[in-house]
Structure 1
Amino acid sequence: MGAAPALEARGLVKEFRGFRATNDVNLQIQEGEIHAIIGPNGAGKTTLFNLLSGFLKPTAGEVTLFGQRIDALAPHEIVRRGLSRSFQISSVFPTLTVRENVVVALQAGTPLPHRFWTPLSRLEGLRDRADEILQAVGLSDFAGRAASELSHGEKRQLEIGISMSQEPRVLLLDEPTSGMGSEGIARVAALVRQVARGRTVVLVEHNMSVVAELADRITVLQYGSVLASGRYDDVRLDPRVIEAYLGDEPGEGGAA
C-alpha cells in the first residue's frame, strides 16, 4: 500500500439544525500538491475548511492527517500535528507591528505564552525567525510598521507568514486573493507557489485564473457535495461544471 494522503475527508457530514452544509464529502489531498476547492457561495467551502481544521466537529465522517484521525482534536492540537490555516477575514493584530504579529504566532508554539516573566533575550531567537518569515513572504521592509498600515494584499501576505510560523506540513488558505486588484493577485499567487515548495497547500479560491495557474487538482462543491474532482483541464471540461460554475465557455472564469 502507498503512503496515506496528506489530508483526507471520508463521508464528512455537517448539519446545522437539520440543514446539511456538507453532505458525504470524500476528499483526498496528496502530499506535495496544491489542491483548490471551488464552488459558488453556499456550496459549503468554508464549512469544509472549518471541519478540516477543527473549528467545527463533523456530524458524521472523519478527517485524517497523514493517516491519523484529527476530527476530534482542538484546532491548536491540529496545528501541532502539522496543519495550519488562514482565514477569509483578516486576522492580524492591527496595533502590533508586522514583526510582532509573527513573533506572537511563533510564541504560541513554545512554553513562553504560559510564563508571565520572560527575559527579552528569550525573544531574540523568535525575532530572528520572524524576520526570516517576513523575508520569505516579501514583507521585510515593513517589519517595524504597524499592521494596520498594510494594504489588503500585504495583510494577506502577513497572514500567510503567520500561518507558516508553525512550520506546517499542510497549509489551508481561505480565499487568499479575495478583494485584490490584478497586481496583488499576481503577488499572492506567486507567494502561494513559493510557500508550497516542500508542503501541501489547499486553497479555497474564487478566481479561476489563479486556480488554473496554481492548482494541481481541484474539487468542485455544489450544495455541500462534491460535484467533480480531478485535474483542472479535465474538470473544466465536465459539462456539469461548465453549466454550474464556468458559464457557457470552458475557458471563461466564473464565480467560485
Structure 2
Amino acid sequence: MTAQTLPGSPVGVGPGPTVALEARQLVKEFRGFRATNGVSLDIHEGEIHAIIGPNGAGKTTLFNLLSGFLKPTSGEVRLFGQRIDTLPPHQIVRRGLSRSFQISSVFPSMTVRENLLVALQSRSRLPGQFWTPISRLETLGPQADAILADVGLAESHARLAADLSHGEKRQLEIGISLTQNPRVLLLDEPTSGMGSEGIARVIALVRQVARGRTVVLVEHNMSVVSELADRITVLQYGAVLASGSYEQVRQDPRVIEAYLGDEAHE
C-alpha cells in the first residue's frame, strides 16, 4: 500500500526544510520475507519524528536499516544528503547519527559516570584499549558531568548502573548516545515498560535532548507520540501507510482501521 499526502500538507510554499535523514525505497528481505517493502521517508532537521505501527509492521527493521545495523536488500539511506547505508555502524556514528536500544546496554558493574567516560573515550585522543584505567579518562570528566546534568542523573553519578531503576537506565542510555554528539538521535521505545512517572520524565528528557538536534523515535504509547512528535510515519506490513502530524494521522481512516481504533475517537 502506498502512502498518500494527507490534507493540510503545504504545497508550493518555496524551499522546504532541510532533510536530515532520508530513506529511499528501502527493502529488506529475510529468506524471501520482506520486512520492509519500499519504505521512503524524509525526516526534517530539528524535528521530533515518530515511527508507529502495529506489531510486525517493520519498525525495528527500519530502525536497524537507518542506523546501519542491517544492510538493505535494495534502496538507500542518506544523512544530510550523504549516503550511509554502505557504511558500518561506527562510521555512521562518526557522521552524526547515534541510537539507543530497547534492551538495556549499559555496563552494570560501572558507575553512571564511568559509563559515560568510557563512551566518551571513543571520540577522544586517548587510546581505545580495553584496559585503559578509568583514572586516565578524567580529562573527559567535564563532558561527562555536562551530559549527566542534561539527562537528569547528576545526583546519581556515583551509583552503579546495576542499581538504577528501569527508567534511570534509559536516561543513562540516552546519555551514552549523547556522548557521540549526534546531529540525529534514534530512540527505540524510550518509554517501554515504564509507569506514568517514568514516562513523564522521559518526555521531558526527549524535549531537552531534542534542542539543536533531530530525534527519531519508535514508540507504542500514543500519548507519548501526541506529546512529542512534530510528524509521524505510520508503517503497516513493512510499508508506509501514512505520514503527517498527529492530528492528521489520527483522523486518517486507514490508520484508524490499521492501528488506532477507538483511540482516535477519544
- Both structures adopt the same fold (TM-score exceeding 0.5): yes
For 1:31, the equivalent position in structure 2 comes to 45
In structure 1, distance between residues paired with 2:263 and 2:172? 36
The match for 2:139 among 125, 132, 138 is 125
For 2:172, the equivalent position in structure 1 comes to 158
Q: Which residues in structure 2 correspond to 1:141-152 (within 5 Å)?
A: 141-152=155-166
**Gap change, CA 1:242 and 1:99, over 3 Å in 2:** same
Structure 2 unpaired stretches of 5+:
1-14
Q: How many residues align?
A: 252
In structure 2, distance between residues paired with 1:148 and 1:119? 20
| 1:212-243 deviation per Cα after TM superposition (whole angstroms, max 9, x unaligned) | 00000000000100000011111110001111
**Gap change, CA 1:139 and 1:119, over 3 Å in 2:** closer
The match for 1:81 among 83, 95, 108 is 95
**Gap change, CA 1:19 and 1:117, over 3 Å in 2:** closer
Q: Percent identity of the aligned residues?
A: 79
Answering whether residue 47 of structure 2 is matched by residue 51 of structure 1, we say no
In structure 2, distance between residues paired with 1:231 and 1:220? 11
Following TM superposition, the consecutive aligned residue runs of length 4 or more in structure 1 with deviations greater than 6 angstroms are none
In structure 2, distance between residues paired with 1:250 and 1:82? 36
Partners of 1:39 and 1:45 within 8 A in 2? yes
For 2:54, the equivalent position in structure 1 comes to 40
3-state SS of paired residue (1:250): helix
Q: Which residues in structure 2 correspond to 1:1-256 (within 5 Å)?
A: 4-115=18-129, 122-252=136-266
Structure 1 unpaired stretches of 5+:
none
| 1:166-191 deviation per Cα after TM superposition (whole angstroms, max 9, x unaligned) | 11000000000000000000000110
Tell me whether 116-125 or 197-206 shows the greater mean CA deviation.
116-125
Tell me whether 222-231 or 110-119 shows the greater mean CA deviation.
110-119
3-state SS of paired residue (1:112): coil
**Gap change, CA 1:176 and 1:249, over 3 Å in 2:** closer
Partners of 2:47 and 2:214 within 8 A in 1? yes
Deviation at 1:117, TM superposition (A): 8.0
**Gap change, CA 1:15 and 1:129, over 3 Å in 2:** same
RMSD: 1.6
For 2:8, the equivalent position in structure 1 comes to none
Letter in 1 for 2:200: A
- Normalising by structure 2, we get a TM-score of 0.91
Deviation at 1:247, TM superposition (A): 1.1
Tell me whether 83-92 or 122-131 shows the greater mean CA deviation.
122-131
| 1:73-97 deviation per Cα after TM superposition (whole angstroms, max 9, x unaligned) | 0000000000000001011111110
Tell me whether 119-128 or 185-194 shows the greater mean CA deviation.
119-128
**Gap change, CA 1:120 and 1:89, over 3 Å in 2:** closer
In structure 1, distance between residues paired with 2:158 and 2:149? 13
In structure 1, distance between residues paired with 2:132 and 2:259? 53
In structure 2, distance between residues paired with 1:138 and 1:198? 18
**Gap change, CA 1:124 and 1:206, over 3 Å in 2:** same
